[in-house]
Amino acid sequence: MILIQPPDPALLAVKKARYAGKVVRHLCPVLLVYSAEDDAGNSKFDPEFLERIRRLEYRQFLFLPKGGPLTVDSIARLDELQSVAENQLEPTKFALSKEICDILRSQVSYFFTGLSGKEFGDWASLLRE
């Protein structure tokens, strides 16, 4: 998983009351990350499909190469954004680099709104060349 944002501390000021609506104060949006290889090292996907993800041809996928906490090449799926309780997350010392965060922010904007996406588009154009 990739943590998108920790819980909003401003929600702690929302008082609990006896209303039907409920504000959950401890949820975090995360991106799900899936391995692109099985335990034997075989690709789970068509190599051409993975190459197209690497070249940023799909705005809903981000390729994550093996390294750091990832023992195999992986794919983050923007179309499977979920909320997870903060106490279910295990902090690590790992973070995406600034450049990848910039691309990811741009990619999320482009995926969800069709707007912006400058960094995502610039990198996708560069990778196509």
What digits encode the pLDDT tens for the residues 80-129?
A: 889 898 888 888 888 888 888 888 888 888 888 877 667 777 777 777 77
Q: Mean of the pLDDT values across residues 8-16?
A: 73
Tokens representing residue 62 in the block: 């981000």
User: What residue ranges do the domains of the chain occupy?
Assistant: 2-13+24-94
Share of the chain above pLDDT 70, in %: 89
DSSP bridge partners of 92: none
Nearest to 34 by CA among 84, 88, 70: 70
Cα separation, 54 vs 107, in Å, equals 13
What pLDDT does residue 36 have?
Answer: 95
Q: How far apart are CA 17 and CA 23, in angstroms?
A: 10
Q: How far apart are CA 105 and CA 10, in angstroms?
A: 22
pLDDT at 34 over 90: yes
How much is the pLDDT for 25?
67
Helix 98-113 to helix 118-128 angle, to the nearest 10 degrees? 110
